[in-house]
Structure 1
């Protein structure tokens, strides 16, 4: 993994205040020729995108997604002023760019957090579209925050199968929502007040497909440094089979000044419509995906960020971190050995 120490990150001009430390890594796995995942890990944006489509189209989709997010001004200013509505504008822009670049033949999931403040209180603004996941370890409680947009999740929600059955279901990799496919582009959002000692973990499904929640919890609760935790999680996934690309980000929160007595239960973020996980009219299980037009967005992503060192080498595992003022993204490519549009098995 060639790990490098993770450095603490903090918002510009906020001393004392919330301090974040972060570790991240990605690996193509043991059965994939290349890596389709992309990620961004730079305060206040931490997210993982899992491309799908095969023949390097997944790399294009996930890479466009994280590079579009890297254009958010908060990464340059360090301010924690983003909202769900603002983030959604960037996702709509990413969706449009992906469809233009790939002809709607590829797509990407996205899951992660944007650190925001409301009335001086820091929050995790959790976002999700597709089946990548965001988890939270807080005050000894480990839980998945996001809800997968997938066929098997809908079956679980309907009480037709159990979570255990979903883990081995033949259509467990079929997602019902993604960016770039001409389908539903609205992400789900939650606001969670940041608590002292919080640990956020974001991953592509190459991790949770190999490890149980209990296994992940044991690693996250016993390995102290976020970079060491990332490395341990990825190595555990590889030992369990490594059947897919695996990408992990771990973010720790310290020096939290939150005296508002706010409820720590996840709640929907305002500014976007609440969505459930009912079946969509089209799922990513076909090489042919219709392309529907989107309204134009005010987000200017004509020139996507191309910071030196931002794109990691295509064939090497990645495990590193850069200072907070150098937005970090990594993207890699992978072929789809089965030729399925969802690109995963």
Structure 2
């Protein structure tokens, strides 16, 4: 299978700095192409949120360059081995960012959603509320928000519709760098042709609906990377027109 990839980010209409960071790239191997993508939404004082998000991106990029080729050298990636390597990076970065924040007297951190798409399987890890979606004949969320309102939904205290407008909707239960302990969620699944994966920060999804996302990014209408980038940019612009106040970032991987 081949892949089309796209990624777009914008500082938005309010903030002076873009604290989101994004990496999405194709990887060529002897046993077929892959796509590795990571999106981080940073937060913190003194405009240091972008430092937290970029630090995690850099650590995972080094993993993709140095450890992934060894992990998959026989054409098969072991689920538990990959999970352990990604968890190690998350825990290391949590300590690194936390210690740096303490040294300058600022609480900083970042979400992280990490995706590896191979010829037959995807691997997905999440900390915080940046999301991954799968678009096929419908759209569904693959990740689970690690937020206060998501926990309130699970407890039956509020409905999902109420959560969408709850003033606490951006309160995270954990993030990389600002949590004492970080427990990432891990997901796996089969890769099917003519599907697409969407990674996005919360700023991308507050002011537009899943139906609008699907109408503009479903795999049947994504014919190449230029089309994907154009449609991501259009949805970012639509968010800003509807007064989204956060940074806005998204990446799309179309399985061709």
TM-score between both structures, scaled by the size of structure 1:
0.63
Per-residue deviation, 1:77: 6.7
- The equivalent residue for 1:282 is none
CA offsets, 1:270-292, max 9 Å, x none?
A: xxxxxxxxxxxxxxxxxxxxxxx
Give 1:123's match in structure 2, choosing from 121, 124, 136. Answer: 121
Give the Cα separation in 2 of the matches to 1:229 and 1:183: 39
Alignment-derived partner of residue 32 in structure 2? none
What secondary structure does 2:12 align onto?
coil
Q: Is the 8 A contact 1:112 1:133 kept in 2?
A: no
Change (3 A) 1:241 1:78: farther
1:148 matches 2:131: no
For 1:38, the equivalent position in structure 2 comes to 21
1:134 paired with 2:117, answer: no
TM-score for the superposition, normalised by structure 2: 0.84
Deviation per CA, 1:244-278: give whole Å up to 9, x if none: 10000000112xxxxxxxxxxxxxxxxxxxxxxxx
Query: Offset of 1:228 from its aligned partner?
Result: 2.1
Bigger fraction of residues in helix: 2
Check the 8 A contact 2:36/2:64 in 1, yes or no: no
Counterparts of residues 1-345 of structure 1 (less than 5 Å): 18-43=1-26, 44-74=35-65, 80=72, 81=77, 83-103=82-102, 105-116=107-118, 122-138=120-136, 140-221=137-218, 223-224=221-222, 225-254=227-256
Distance 1:112 1:26 in 2: 17
Structure 1 range deviating more: 22-31 or 45-54: 45-54
Task: Tell me how far 1:115 sits from its aligned partner.
Answer: 2.4
Number of equivalenced pairs:
232
| Structure 1 residues 132 and 71: alpha-carbon distance in aligned structure 2, compared to 1, 3 A threshold | same
2-structure distance, mates of 1:92, 1:178: 11
Q: After the TM superposition, which parts of structure 1 deviate over 2 Å for at least 4 consecutive aligned residues?
A: 73-82
Q: Secondary structure at the match of 1:143?
A: strand
Deviation at residue 242 of structure 1 after TM alignment: 2.7
Unaligned runs of 5+ in 1: 1-17, 255-345
C-alpha deviations, 1:302-341, integer Å up to 9, x for none? xxxxxxxxxxxxxxxxxxxxxxxxxxxxxxxxxxxxxxxx
Distance change (3 Å), C-alpha of 1:76 and 1:24? farther
Deviation at 1:128, TM superposition (A): 0.6
> Post-superposition shift, 1:226?
2.0
Which consecutive residues of structure 2, in runs of 5 or more, have no partner in the other structure? 27-34
Give how far 1:19 is off: 1.6
Question: 1:57 offset after TM fit, Å?
Answer: 1.6
The structure that has the greater radius of gyration is 1
Whole-Å Cα distance in 1 between the matches of residues 238 and 84 of structure 2?
37
Distance, in Å, in 2 between the alignment partners of 1:102 and 1:182 is 12
Q: How much has 1:73 moved relative to structure 2?
A: 4.2
